[in-house]
Amino acid sequence: MPTLDAISQDIDHCAQRAGRPAGSVRLIAVSKSQPAAAIAALAAQGQRAFGENYAQEAMTKIPALATAGLEWHFLGPVQRNKARIVSAHFDWLHSLDSLPLAHSLARHLQTAGRTLEVLIGVNSLEDGTKQGLTREAVPAFLDGFLADPALARVLHLRGLMTIGPHQAPADTSARCFGALRDTLETCARRFALPQFDQLSMGMSDDYRIAIAEGATMVRIGRALFGERPRKA
């Protein structure tokens, strides 16, 4: 299994091959199904950003690691009844996909006196079994979001997130990721959003392709932690 240093160096090499500097792509260590001890071990090697998919599971770990100075990213879809947990305990959300959810998160953030860095979740494959907006729906979502200044005060829109096609040929993955990059750039210009510049895309099997197409964050779990523990 590759070490954290090996994966970090590979990410930097991929960024440099794409004409960007080392350090321009952030590694989000996907720690779902991993115990707090495994996260602490990786943190001891220098990893700071960790991603969780399930709010209740995350609440068994985040308090236990509260003094470690970690940055927590929520990656999965957010049920409205879990918005309070995400608002109170996470620094980034990668999966905002509706205005009702935005309003729910904003209410909790205002109560807690917090802000949240947010990526819009995009269903690039237009797969009906997956959550997220279509690329074509992103501008309309931004129109609605920006019409309410109260949302932008606590939800800082930073970019887009997608999941690439599973076990697809490299050119198919590249088209998917490249299309998301184009959507990001178009929306940043159209809505004059200078901080709307983050692309969360690419996982253990396809992060190199995603970096070549403009990823600024890659979400890697299995390559760092090994296969997820099987449920009993």
Per-residue pLDDT of 34-77, as tens digits, reads: 999 999 999 999 999 999 999 999 999 999 999 999 999 999 99
Q: pLDDT-derived band of residue 28, with 50, 70 and 90 as boundaries?
A: very high
**pLDDT at position 129:** 58
Categorize the per-residue pLDDT at 107 as very low, low, confident or very high, splitting at 50, 70 and 90: very high
Extended strands (E) in the chain: 26-30, 49-52, 71-74, 92-96, 116-122, 155-162, 198-200, 217-220
pLDDT at position 167, please? 84
Which neighbouring-strand residues pair with 120? Answer: 96, 160
Instruction: Please tell me the least confidently modeled range out of 6-20, 119-133, 150-164, 187-201.
Output: 119-133
What does the alpha-carbon distance between residue 46 and residue 49 come to, in Å, rounded to a whole number?
A: 10
pLDDT at res. 127: 63
Q: Is the pLDDT of residue 119 over 70?
A: yes
pLDDT category at 230 given cuts 50, 70, 90 is low
pLDDT confidence band for 232 (50 / 70 / 90): very low
The pTM for the full model equals 0.95
The class of domain 4-225 in CATH terms is alpha beta
| Helix, strand, coil percentages, rounded to 5, for the chain | 45, 20, 35
Higher pLDDT, 18 or 131: 18
Give the integer Cα–Cα distance in Å for 29 and 35.
13
